[in-house]
Structure 1
């Protein structure tokens, strides 16, 4: 009887449901990036929807028949396609950029970058789509962001330092797809990642969401890699000045609607042999008998001769989605590599480095799991990473070089060029990080978010030339004793909407805990291993508010106590030059951010966006490096810094295809308190090596249907201005030594891209430092003069 009743109940479902089908689809830009909030409409029947963050749309319960699908979105050409529905369909559409009048668009869609930029927390999300075809690294895109200064110690792949609203060094965390980049073992670095390997760059200023941030002191940068969703192959090759070459290859194959396999890879190489102007060079002087007299100084134009860089990254990923047990599961394996010849130390002085070099190999496994429950009210995400990095630094020569590339006749007494003593250190860094995120929609206006981040690092190695400790009469290489540290950061965040969603209020709490141990390098002799252990717990908290005055105008602000845990080298030393400091305390900062934002369409052919933001920071227990004796240094908690600043950014699009942007930053970061009475003279001085005033202006112009229909030409020009500043503490810039002053800088970049849309081809040519100006970077290191690059891109989309 039960079976009969069940059969009778199923009859109407079968009769009335046999002609009902599901239409799924994916909408992407020409570069393969998914497009969110694009309007999709079935013209017959009146069904309409929008794409989600992954560019996916879906219509359920569609009757059999012929339909016209209409697709439209701001900045893209509208399209209409006829489809025949007699089964479930899985469609794919690629939209072409357009400058058509806005009145032709049914619903104004916003990209993921635009949505993030309108968050209650101050996020500047940089869309990569306009510069994907250019021969640039991620650091060049970041330079144009408001409040960001990118500092390098040379050319491609050189040591990188990010300054964000006055915060610098480790105080600004860099993430790769939500995982701190250092977990990858230093083989992967921001300035080795080409732009076409990324989907966007999210710059967080002040408060960071609990599901992204770790222990950033008031800002962070999250690099979002390309995640193609349709079957495609994209490759590019560029060649440029200083024998620079970049190659990328990204592909994705959808086996069905539930399984796909993708690959993401890039390779960089550069000699970095650019000319530095008017730098100091040491010359040996000898008498007629060949006896040494003295060292003389001269100022010359010198070509860098020992600065070769090579790096590569390849990641293969298997994606499973739309399963009963997971919405999405990504399993990936990657290998990263970098090789660097070392040309100089932190500064440019009269002696060059001619032989020291280093390399890193990294092997990484990653898992990303996502699932929604309870009618999509509860979403869970877990992602974890396991990394093994194998590095080697070799600085064990007796030769000394000057900037002509010639060795001195006299040998080096220390037997090393960079470090205080020779080294050939091999190291194995084991790193793992895990994050669990739970997001619960309590009500339409209330969202609760929880995040737990755990990381563990172990460092072990050997150095045949390194220091030795005497343990019970036996000499021991301290590198062979592992240093370990693990962190756990728990966060909870509550978001509440008020007044018909005009007011967004976010409150959050974070708990920071770390535990570590390492051998004490300061022990000269002992009967047992001198292992030192450290641990600490800190709490952070804050709130963020946003109020929409008009649909196009909102104000927002945030207050936060932020915490930054010291890094392994800061606590344990580097077994070479940096001594350990087990008493080092975490940095904290009281941050206040406030701003106003306006963005709207002005008529049919114009768009205007204006943002003004200000910040106040009180940074305590600032971690700074201090020289100890002649050869060594260590990190100490020395100062308290008061920071303040204002930022202005604007963007104007008009005449259908002309885009003008401008960003300006003024900031002041003064030392308010010092740890020693002897350093009282520093109070009131600006923190060195950080510019106070800088701005940039960019112009982008697109011409459609050049020579042939669907062939587009895009021209761009960017100007960067940086006011003068000092690389050390000075009371007055006007009376300070010119050798320590970075003068006013004017940098012009320009380029052009020609795209054959129907063929998936594009060609670009871009020029950096077009006027060959003298440009300086971190600690007054000269940057390249005029340099250029040519790039070709090819995209193949297939079924």
Structure 2
């Protein structure tokens, strides 16, 4: 069914899908993006004594370091590539060391005659670390998804995350469906998502990680259980921070791609940057367009036809017929970068729009044929960063205002079956209709809600003395929602007030590097504040009146992260956090477009999170590299917020507190590289989350006490392999073959103690993907083909909602430097 966007939010601005397509074709500002790393090492004299107060300056830029009393130095935020390090020892001639920053150890022997001493400056030891290595040695349990390998494949950002140890992306269907992020068994809003440290919800509901192409992403950081205070969020289960490519010190460039595949799926995006080297004036731009029919086949115990007069169930294999999805948008930033008064000062604007048919309710048993929803967003933002703004003081800040509109069109109450047919009533000579108020999911509605979010965050860090750093963070988030529905009675509309939800978070962090940087310690404290205010119409003795809800909460949290370099290549890690997670707007206030009812009495989640692990380089030879990571975790969660059971009549549901959950488990990850030709990544995650509250408030024992957490995949594994054949067809070209295997062990849909034989089980899933990628000489054009779920296995996530089966996608990418 063709989507028709009703009440388009951008009609006054004359923004449409054709504008976005035109931008995809005509945007010509140039850009570049590079990965940054860290250079550190030691400067010594010929007799082995350390050289103190030696100044090392990168290419005469503002990136510099000074060797300490032990000769150690540090250069941070260094782009990968070739550089000249200017070495300035006190009283000696200036020398230059040329280095190429890679993720490996490099040594350069130089001789510098000291004018004030007979010693010679013999050697500068240069060792390079990528930002990934720096993160993994910070003490936090953090996984890092590097996108360089897979950015040009026909895969989505969500798929890359889903292949990470301990991470599951729980989707309700195909592209555009609602999704949840799960880290070590904790899901939903327990896991916070950021884009460059900015909460993704600030970008509006029509923009998500699905809107970002892998080509735009430098890396994805996954913090498990314990989250650093600089992200300034109430992330109880963990956090996902997507770091976009933004370093524009090198040549300007533009990157564009288009993919087409099964279920009439189209995806196009363009990412382009421009910087004037003399003034620092910078323009960053991107645009995207996505469309799919989502008409994949579904089958199973929830896919059936039941027609009069017998109403017997006939299980069928059917195609989804009312699930098309379309989204498009653009993002632009203008300002200055790498100038004296700012490392980054950018004013930005984001416009995005989404339209979607709704195929079913909270489960696949209730089929829709007319319900539609849409979202539109506009966002203004300002970002400012400056290192050493005033004597060892670093400042990072952003402020944004987002205005979005959610609309739902549900006014046709006909009953459909999975074959796309309306049910005919011979007695009335008309079609059967739902008896729940004039719509397919309840009352007839033309809801058009306006949501506004004012958000701001300031991070400040001050280096007290070398190796000791104090940071302060503050976050403000002010959310309002105006509810409008012309189909509601006038009296009910007048009694419905604007919803207000305000959240503030304050954080303090102390970081220290001790024992010649072998020991790294980070301790932090957080303060959480939330206020909710609204009024709803309710009937009391058949009289319509206003019911007010006003509540406020405040909580404290604290924690630490510690790492110790046992020997080169081996780090021991441990971290702990007393974590708090405040209920979100959809959980508290509901969301008509997603079939979510309000739950004003939700309590904050609280947890004690503990990690203990290590990462090690097991083999480091000329042609073979083997690295491993192992993390054990413990989660003691109180008042866990989970999705409740759905209504069998409407498919609606609400969120609820689940008392106490105790979870223990581990993640294992192995990475092997051979001659930079063969790459194999393997990970495994296992957790045991049990309901740990025995008695209710009346002293009655819960029937599911000790049960494994319902609807939660507790044993998952992923294996990815890639082989680079090199330039077997043309010189300077590249042909790569890749394979991915995903495994999800079976799990119960509901509490395992509830019900007898034949309890609903989400079956074991084994998904095989295969891909081929060819980069033409010069690396400007890349063509890839990916086959997903090749054996057409049933794949499920939330509540047995089936995801797409076998699919083929092709992608063409172009880079201009």
TM-score by length of 2: 0.83
Could you tell me how far apart the structure 1 residues matched to 2:696 and 2:641 are? 11
RMSD: 3.0
Matched, 1:34 2:35: yes
Whether contact under 8 Å (1:337, 1:362) holds in the other structure is: yes
Could you tell me how far apart the structure 1 residues matched to 2:198 and 2:523 are? 23
Could you tell me how far apart the structure 2 residues matched to 1:649 and 1:538 are? 35
- How far does residue 656 in structure 1 lie from its aligned partner after superposition? 3.5
Equivalent residue, structure 1, for 2:265:
244
1:272 to 286, 290, 294: 294
Secondary structure (helix, strand or coil) at the match of 2:586 reads: helix
Equivalent residue, structure 2, for 1:597:
615
- How far does residue 628 in structure 1 lie from its aligned partner after superposition? 10
Matched, 1:334 2:356: no
Matched, 1:567 2:595: no
Deviations 1:767-799 (A, max 9, x none): 1112222222221122222111111111111xx
Could you tell me how far apart the structure 1 residues matched to 2:745 and 2:306 are? 37
Whether contact under 8 Å (1:520, 1:580) holds in the other structure is: no
2:554 to 524, 533, 537: 537
**663-672 or 225-234, which moves further after superposition?**
225-234
Q: Which runs of 5+ in 1 are unaligned?
A: 1-29, 41-45, 79-104, 287-292, 469-473
In the superposition, relative to structure 1, how do residues 761 and 38 fare at CA in structure 2: closer, same or farther (>3 Å)?
Answer: farther
**224-233 or 444-453, which moves further after superposition?**
224-233
Deviations 1:6-48 (A, max 9, x none): xxxxxxxxxxxxxxxxxxxxxxxx98433424799xxxxx987
Could you tell me how far apart the structure 2 residues matched to 1:527 and 1:299 are? 45
- How far does residue 61 in structure 1 lie from its aligned partner after superposition? 11
Whether contact under 8 Å (2:480, 2:498) holds in the other structure is: yes
In the superposition, relative to structure 1, how do residues 323 and 541 fare at CA in structure 2: closer, same or farther (>3 Å)?
Answer: same
Whether contact under 8 Å (2:398, 2:458) holds in the other structure is: yes
1:721-760 equivalence runs, <5 A: 721-731=743-753, 736-737=757-758, 740-760=760-780
Could you tell me how far apart the structure 2 residues matched to 1:416 and 1:779 are? 26
Whether contact under 8 Å (1:279, 1:300) holds in the other structure is: no
Equivalent residue, structure 1, for 2:137:
118
- How far does residue 417 in structure 1 lie from its aligned partner after superposition? 5.3
2:606 to 573, 576, 588: 588
1:297-446 equivalence runs, <5 A: 297-349=313-365, 351-373=366-388, 377-409=392-424, 410-416=432-438, 418-446=440-468
Could you tell me how far apart the structure 2 residues matched to 1:162 and 1:218 are? 10
1:481-560 equivalence runs, <5 A: 481-522=497-538, 524=540, 529-560=546-577
Could you tell me how far apart the structure 1 residues matched to 2:779 and 2:588 are? 55
Whether contact under 8 Å (1:72, 1:106) holds in the other structure is: no
Whether contact under 8 Å (1:364, 1:387) holds in the other structure is: yes
Deviations 1:466-492 (A, max 9, x none): 4x5xxxxx7131685210111100000
Could you tell me how far apart the structure 2 residues matched to 1:521 and 1:587 are? 28
Matched, 1:231 2:256: no
Equivalent residue, structure 2, for 1:451:
473
Equivalent residue, structure 2, for 1:18:
none
Whether contact under 8 Å (1:236, 1:247) holds in the other structure is: yes
Deviations 1:564-588 (A, max 9, x none): 0011233334479755444322110
1:52 to 44, 69, 77: 77
1:664-683 equivalence runs, <5 A: 664-673=684-693, 675=696, 680-683=702-705
**146-155 or 370-379, which moves further after superposition?**
370-379
Whether contact under 8 Å (1:114, 1:125) holds in the other structure is: no
**176-185 or 474-483, which moves further after superposition?**
474-483
Q: Which runs of 5+ in 2 are unaligned?
A: 1-30, 42-55, 60-74, 89-94, 107-123, 425-431
Could you tell me how far apart the structure 1 residues matched to 2:304 and 2:265 are? 29
Matched, 1:193 2:212: yes
Could you tell me how far apart the structure 1 residues matched to 2:549 and 2:76 are? 55
Equivalent residue, structure 1, for 2:714:
692
Could you tell me how far apart the structure 1 residues matched to 2:288 and 2:618 are? 38
Could you tell me how far apart the structure 1 residues matched to 2:237 and 2:472 are? 20
- How far does residue 256 in structure 1 lie from its aligned partner after superposition? 2.8
Could you tell me how far apart the structure 2 residues matched to 1:664 and 1:139 are? 18
The count of corresponding residues between Structure 1 and Structure 2 is: 719
Secondary structure (helix, strand or coil) at the match of 1:140 reads: helix
2:664 to 635, 641, 644: 644
TM-score by length of 1: 0.84
In the superposition, relative to structure 1, how do residues 71 and 305 fare at CA in structure 2: closer, same or farther (>3 Å)?
Answer: farther
Could you tell me how far apart the structure 2 residues matched to 1:790 and 1:633 are? 38
Whether contact under 8 Å (2:305, 2:419) holds in the other structure is: no
2:624 to 592, 602, 606: 606
In the superposition, relative to structure 1, how do residues 61 and 118 fare at CA in structure 2: closer, same or farther (>3 Å)?
Answer: closer
- How far does residue 110 in structure 1 lie from its aligned partner after superposition? 2.8
1:775 to 782, 795, 798: 795
- How far does residue 283 in structure 1 lie from its aligned partner after superposition? 4.1
- How far does residue 516 in structure 1 lie from its aligned partner after superposition? 1.7
Secondary structure (helix, strand or coil) at the match of 1:707 reads: coil
- How far does residue 555 in structure 1 lie from its aligned partner after superposition? 0.8
- How far does residue 464 in structure 1 lie from its aligned partner after superposition? 2.0
Could you tell me how far apart the structure 2 residues matched to 1:699 and 1:479 are? 59
Could you tell me how far apart the structure 2 residues matched to 1:488 and 1:765 are? 46
Could you tell me how far apart the structure 2 residues matched to 1:633 and 1:743 are? 24
Matched, 1:177 2:182: no
1:66-85 equivalence runs, <5 A: 70-74=98-102
- How far does residue 296 in structure 1 lie from its aligned partner after superposition? 1.9
